[in-house]
Structure 1
Amino acid sequence: MKLQGALYPWRFRIVLALLALMVGAIAWRIVDLQVLDQEFLKGQGDARSVRHIPIPAHRGLITDRHGEPLAVSTPVTTLWGNPRELQAARARWPELAEALGQDSATLTKRLQEQAEREFIYLVRGLTPQQGQRVLDLKIPGVYEQEEFRRFYPAGEVAAHVVGFTDIDDRGREGMELAYEEWLAGVPGKRQVLKDRRGRLIKDVQVVKNAKAGKALALSIDLRLQYLAHSELRDVVQQYGAKSASLVMVDVETGEVLAMANQPTYNPNNRRNLQPAAMRNRALIDVFEPGSTVKPFSIAAALGTGKYHPESVINTLPGWMRIGRYTIRDVSRGGQLNLTEILMKSSNVGISKIALDIGAEPVYAAMQQAGFGQSTGLGFPGERVGNLPNHRKWRDAETASLAYGYGLSVTAVQLAHAYSVLGNEGRNVPLSLLRLDQRPEGVQIIDKDISATVLQMLRAVVEEDGGGGSRARVPGYHVGGKSGTAKKVSGTGGYTKDAYRSFFAGVAPLSNPRIAVVVVVDEPSEGGYYGGLVAAPVFGKVTARALRLLNVAPDNLPPPAPLQTAEAATGKGGRI
């Protein structure tokens, strides 16, 4: 039996011919699209391209130790334009400039100069409402982009510690820079379809969710920071000073509770920012600390066993010569014990002690207290100062080290050193972050010696004849030491009429809680001595700080005895 197809061979041939024609047509179209007419596929690709656009992630919140916000991220709208598209809407450029709050001529010139580009920023950092008002104009070539902007609720009060971010939300100063990796979020990714002009056709899916930055809790107490800021501003105005700094440290934990500087700046508005105002002088500026280091020279002398608090030094006639150098006291001096040497701030007395015990014990005491050493805070631009260590100490170098010349420190280092005295001679590392556990300390000064030095410092403040009487705090026993140092000139010597005024102290002495250092640079009106300029700032800030910290008073007068009715009116009398 024959096959049906064999009866009609022409049908089979027709099917083969049709199939051949279809294959030929497809092949021709492929050649046409790939070789002859490439613009079609290129246009289709441009019209429907799959792209990935970033999903912005906001930075982590920065707070003070009690959770008060110091830096927050808020969503903002950035408007960008496609100059090529905007060329077709020239008539609406004045309308766009008015909506953006820009000069029409300036915007016109900018769009003309960049006519061949497909992307320019029109304005950044608008509120969502402001951005939407511009988009509602429906001007071709104007598009939006979501971003985040940093806002600093404390403004200039905490500016030097917190720092700020740039327009791209990257840390540029302070803790924003130091903890950039911790604070910065991880942007997400969204898959979309866009045409060749960047217009969104379809939002396909979220490929990767944005991850917000981690929060950062600082050791700063914003209440104490406001106190320091206010008092420094007043002292700079009152004495015509160039600048001022204050550092407050928790003596038990090493946490920095306040760090303020003048002049300062507003991180929310940096249009007229002066570079000098950005300096965190408490960590960056180094200086010779003057008489504020004398307690550590005394501690070194007590540690040798050759001296005790009642040891007497003859400081007459109030000056002494070492080679070609003359060391002078403000007062004529006399027979002074170690406490009186601190009270009178005798350079002669402390020099004689240092020359007797040698430079090595004094150097060791200052080194262990943190002078010339990194604080470990990791703050950008922090300086370590200089504590010289000579192979062979000359007498002039030994004497000058003992009364605070020939070395350089920062205000933070000085506050750290005084916190050692307040912490029974234990050294704990400093921290700008809030700590949940008290760190282990290292005993660097004998506990009894530390207590003895604190009582000497109490006499400096509370007894008549001490140089720190203006640092007294009603209701509390405090101890501290003032200092005044000439500034180094550009030629390597000392200036004649430019000084730094200091006061460093600990409070309250019955159970020390805080160490405070005040530095006032170049007071020019009304005096320049540390006991006159810096000591009152210490007293005011410490008085209010102890109350805010709920520290019980330890220097209240005894209560008056109650009088009976008979004692008040006489025996048998009537009230």
Structure 2
Amino acid sequence: MKLEGALYPWRFRVVLGLLALMVGAISWRIVDLHVIDRAFLQGQGDARSVRHIPIPAHRGLITDRNGEPLAVSTPVTTLWTNPKDLMGLRDHWPVIAKALGQDPKIFAQRIEQNANREFMYLVRGLTPEQGQAILSQKLPGVYSIEEFRRFYPAGEVTAHVVGFTDVDDRGREGVELSFDEWLAGVPGKRQVLKDRRGRLIKDVQVARNAKPGKTLALSIDLRLQYLAHRELRNALVENGAKAGSLVIADVKTGEILAMANQPTYNPNNRRNLQPAAMRNRAMIDVFEPGSTVKPFSISAALESGRWKPEDKVDVYPGTLQIGRYTIRDVSRSEGVLDLTGILIKSSNVGVSKVAFDIGAESIYRVMQQVGLGQDTGLGFPGERVGNLPNHRKWPKAETATLAYGYGLSVTAIQLAHAYSVLANNGRSVPLSLTRADSLPDGVQVIDESVAKTLQGMLQQVVEAPGGVFRAQVPGYHVSGKSGTARKASVGSKGYTQNAYRSLFAGFAPSSNPRIAMVVVIDEPSKAGYFGGLVSAPVFGKVMAGALRLMNVAPDNLPTEEQQTATAVTGKGGRI
């Protein structure tokens, strides 16, 4: 191109060249974005319209050992809004508040307080029917998301074992917390298109399917749990007691078949929940076990080889002076008792003299091996270990108190485990809150012959004249030991005046033990406070029902001669 009269023709050519380069660059960029690098524009468009909505995953089902549901997840509707958008719709606030069943003034305050946010819950946990009724009104600025809420069919009966979840469906107490990772599902993702106001335009696809949580089968038998809950509640009312716990364990497998506590609460409605009612006392409350540990002191004596069941101890006059400390027997005795008699009469003097002979170290070793003051391995939230003291040198006072159950602290679950060891011929198996599909490995911690001897001695504690007859079960031989322990003062030394724990621990049937049970009644205030008077009847009632529910064959049925004699006596009486 030749430019006539142009002073600087090269400038024009430079401008044309630059324009051509710009057009070429723009054309290349258009081709690049639409043909070669298409993902960029798609990504920018998706960032402004494509959203991923979480697909909630329901938690795994919790069942008892027979498949009965203890915790299930139900779908609920949650309503939310964008306060920034709602600020421009003040005229609609009263209508929205009325539809939600909320006070208009409080609703307005909530919107104004969250005016700078883009998300705010309006109401959570509505049933699908309630949520749909509100959404059908097509209120401006009101949107919904689907969630799951936990429901507990057994309610207060299994509350302390199962626990509960929070509003975000995360475990907060009990099994729900300890097995949270197992029960919690993995949320999915759904891809949708929304406009700039957040309104749904198109449901595109499911980007990732939700993965539900796994099912958890507990060792709890709901039938036994109902039975324990009912009898424990009745016992608290009858005795004017403050609280109570009851634990049932399978002797062979170590499974916890029932764990009841009073007072309890309803996990489905926690509006007026008292914190004290939430405590799983069977695992959290520690106490001095009193006379219930005397069988383990006698076990240490028998294992030492220095004592036999028929050996005698002089307990007259029922007191024993150790320095300034006086050991006393509650029940009167004949003056001389064998080892079985010491257990039947629950003689503190007798078991103390035995302890002085064998030494506290051997008693400590037996108590440690059966799990007293030791971690149970259950991993339950808040579970306490208790305390089993071990002195370098054991003074006489500490030796005596250890032998008859003072100076140490245990939980009800530990005491149940210890009696399970005696019932299982001295073999200790780990405890479990989940159903065991096979027999666990155990460890022999007490000589088998000694354990069997103690089973017979504890049977006499229940069945012999002067024994704890209130714990007897018709048709079955029962072994057990009562205990009464004073409550230690909180915040000061010594014991609280007129405050006791009534205890009974045992197992049945004595000929082939299947079930071990511990009953703890805290501060009975009506009829009395001795374990044989307060806790033993609860043990007898629950044990009778449990043995029948588990189809355990009776081992104490009357013989034909006894039945005939009874029939003749009955006939003669009627005549």
User: What TM-score comes out, normalization by structure 1 length?
Assistant: 0.90
Q: Deviations along 1:304-340, whole A, 9 cap, x unmatched? A: 1111111110000000011111000012321111111
Contact 1:183 1:213 in 2 (8 A): yes
For residue 139 of structure 1, report the CA deviation from its aligned partner.
Answer: 1.0
Classify the secondary structure of the residue corresponding to 2:116. coil
Q: How does 1:189-228 map to 2 (within 5 A)?
A: 189-228=189-228
The answer on whether the counterparts of 1:47 and 1:196 sit within 8 Å (CA) in structure 2 is no
The CA distance in 2 between the partners of 1:286 and 1:135, in whole Å, is 52
Worse-superposed segment, 109-118 or 375-384: 109-118
Letter in 1 for 2:50: V
Check conservation: 2:501, 2:522, Cα contact below 8 A: yes
- What residue is the counterpart of 1:534 in the other structure? 535
Aligned to 1:480: 480
Alpha-carbon shift at residue 214 of structure 1 (Å): 0.6
Residue of structure 2 equivalent to 1:571: none
Residue aligning to 2:521: 520
Contact preservation (8 Å) 1:246, 1:259: yes
- Partner Cα distance (1:59, 1:561) in 2: 57
The aligned residue for residue 127 of structure 1 is 127
Structure 1 residue matching 2:560: 3-state secondary structure:
coil
Residue 91 of structure 2: SS of its match in structure 1? helix
State the partner residue of 2:501.
500
After superposition, give the CA deviation of every residue in 1:334-388 in whole Å (9 maximum; x if it has no partner): 1111111100000000000000111111111101111121111010111111111
Q: Deviations over 1:146-190 (max 9, x none)?
A: 100000001000000000000000000000000111000011112
CA deviation string 1:254-279 (max 9, x = no partner): 00000010000100000001110000
Alpha-carbon distance in 2 for matches of 1:527, 1:98: 57
The number of residues matched between the two structures is 535
Q: Quick one: distance in 2 between partners of 1:180 and 1:144?
A: 26
Q: Partner of 2:303 in structure 1?
A: 303
Moved more, 93-102 or 481-490: 93-102
Q: Separation in 2 of the partners of 1:24 and 1:362? A: 96
**1:496 to 1:471, Cα distance in 2 relative to 1, 3 A:** same
Q: Report SS of the residue matched to 1:534.
A: helix
**What per-residue deviation string (whole Å, max 9, x for no partner) do you get for residues 277-305 of structure 1?**
00000001100000000000011101111
Q: Give the letter for the 2:307 counterpart.
A: Y
What amino acid sits opposite 1:377 in the alignment? L
What CA distance in whole angstroms lies between the structure 2 residues aligned with 1:287 and 1:204? 61
Unaligned runs of 5+ in 2: 1-12, 31-40, 569-575
Q: Which residue of 1 aligns with 2:417?
A: 416
Give the match's secondary structure for 1:288. Answer: coil
The whole-number CA distance in structure 2 between the counterparts of 1:526 and 1:383 is: 31
The CA deviation string for residues 90-115 of structure 1, in whole angstroms up to 9 with x for no partner, is: 33322322221222221122223333
The answer to whether the aligner puts 1:554 opposite 2:555 as a matched pair is yes
The answer to whether the 8 Å contact 2:64/2:70 transfers is yes
Name 1:396's counterpart in structure 2: 397
Q: CA deviation at 1:192?
A: 1.9
User: Cα–Cα, structure 1 residues 562 and 240, in superposed 2: closer, same or farther, change >3 Å?
Assistant: closer
Tell me, in whole angstroms, the C-alpha distance in 1 between the residues paired with 2:563 and 2:244. 48
Q: With structure 2 as the length reference, what TM-score do the two structures score?
A: 0.90
- The CA distance in 2 between the partners of 1:410 and 1:71, in whole Å, is 26
- Matched with 2:36 is none
Q: Residues 442-461 of structure 1: matches in 2 within 5 Å?
A: 442-461=443-462
Q: Does the 8 Å contact 2:288/2:406 carry over to 1?
A: yes
Q: Distance in 2 between matches of 1:324 and 1:236?
A: 37
Query: Which consecutive unaligned segments of at least 5 residues does structure 1 have?
Result: 1-12, 31-40, 568-575
> Which residue pairs with 1:293 in the alignment?
293
8 A Cα contact 1:46 1:195, kept in partner: no
Q: In 1, distance between residues paired with 2:115 and 2:394?
A: 72
| 1:103-142 mapped onto 2 (5 Å cutoff) | 103-142=103-142
Name the SS for the 2:252 alignment partner: coil
Q: What is residue 433 of structure 1 aligned with on the other side?
A: 434
Do the aligned residues in 2 keep the contact of 1:424 with 1:447 (CA within 8 Å)? yes
| RMSD, aligned CA | 2.2
Measured after TM superposition, the shift of residue 562 of structure 1 is 9.8
1:27-65: CA deviations, max 9, x gaps? 9x99xxxxxxxxxx9xx9699422222111110000000
- Farther off after superposition, 157-166 or 327-336: 327-336
Q: 1:119: how far off?
A: 1.3
Q: In the TM superposition, what is the alpha-carbon distance from 1:24 to its structure 2 partner? A: 8.8
Do the aligned partners of 2:331 and 2:346 also contact (CA within 8 Å) in 1? no
1:42-441 mapped onto 2 (5 Å cutoff): 48-333=48-333, 334-441=335-442
Does the CA contact (< 8 Å) of 1:165 and 1:173 recur in 2?
yes
Secondary structure of the structure 2 residue equivalent to 1:497 = strand
How many Å separate the matches in 1 of 2:118 and 2:138?
A: 18
Does structure 2 retain, via aligned residues, the 8 Å contact 1:297–1:350?
Answer: yes
**C-alpha spacing 1:512/1:562, structure 2 compared with 1 (3 Å):** closer
Query: For residues 414 and 177 of structure 1, what CA distance do their matches in structure 2 show?
Result: 24
Cα distance in 1 between the residues matched to 2:428 and 2:554: 25
AA matched with 2:489: S
Residue identity over aligned pairs, in percent, reads 73
Distance in 2 (alpha carbons) for counterparts of 1:471 and 1:485: 19
